[in-house]
Chain A
């Protein structure tokens, strides 16, 4: 038979001298470490996939000098294209009116003669 026990008073909301004690989350230290590791690894994998899909980013803030040189060389060799170097070291190729569109089909296959 169950013994009669007196009803306990409710636990006061305020514990301690001033304010209510804040309860912290339940995640253990190893869980945080695993989360941190997986987050970093996930960002690495996701970024690698993104970089693989977007190899050449023309509006990237920084372009290595080789790209600028290539752009300048292309501009020098082709008289119909002019290279304009901006302050952010990016090369923009502007086509002049001498370059015209064509109605011919695009060349997709090359053959040895």
Chain B
């Protein structure tokens, strides 16, 4: 039974990574036209607003499976406080940080009306940091990342997101280009 939780934890970890990739990409896409070949900005925005419904379950399953798995030896405190585990402090701690940042992004999004638009945008940009820590967590601790196919797909999606994030940053720093 323990191996079942271990398999679930591995699979849901990769699913959570994929869901977060979809969420981040659909968040960047309206400004960068990354998905304009696929759908209108309105549809992409609707997808982005809906992505918590795939990110949260995948992340929750990953966490619960690791808590139930006796081999991983992850405690409830390790889910929220980083670098407390008896092994792989950095690798697992980065995952903990990404969970914390995910919670921050989700809570601030639900409380969006209480923030000014500028403040909310800054809180929402934390998601880039969350994705970065999740990527490093998957690279440093991901058991299945030893598979060349899974590694290539993971790296390709991360590089794609980094590319569009930089493109969006460039447009944000040079607003004259958007108006032109």
Contacts and interface: CB of A to CB of B under 8 A. Distances in A.
A33 B14 CA distance: 19
* Chain A interface category by residue count: 35 or more
B109 interface: no
A95 interface: no
B15 interface: yes
Interface stretch (B118-126, B141-149, B164-172): B141-149
Interface of B: 3, 6-8, 10-15, 18-19, 22, 26, 33, 35-44, 46-47, 50-51, 53-54, 58, 71-73, 86-88, 91-92, 139-147, 150, 180
Contact of B22 (A40, A44, A45): A40
B39 to A, nearest CB: 4
Interface in A67-94: 67-68, 89
B39 A27 contact: yes
Which of B8, B39, B180: most chain A CB closer than 10 A? B39
Given A22-B36, A55-B3, A61-B146, A27 B43 contact: yes
A28 B43 contact: yes
Contact of A61 (B43, B46, B91): B91
A61 B40 contact: no
A57 interface: yes
Interface string A36-55: 11011101110110111011
Contacts of B12: 44
Contacts of A47: 10-11, 13-15, 144, 150
A41 B146 CA distance: 21
A39 B22 contact: yes
A32 interface: yes
Contact of B8 (A37, A48, A65): A48
A44 B60 CA distance: 13
A24 interface: yes
B7 A40 contact: no
A57 B86 CA distance: 20
Nearest to A89: B87
B153 to A, nearest CB: 9
B123 to A, nearest CB: 23
Contacts of B26: 32, 36
Contacts of B150: 47, 50
A66 B145 contact: no
A40 B18 contact: yes
Given A24-B41, A36-B47, 13 more contacts: A31-B43, A36-B26, A37-B54, A44-B11, A47-B150, A50-B144, A51-B144, A57-B144, A60-B143, A64-B72, A65-B73, A66-B71, A67-B71
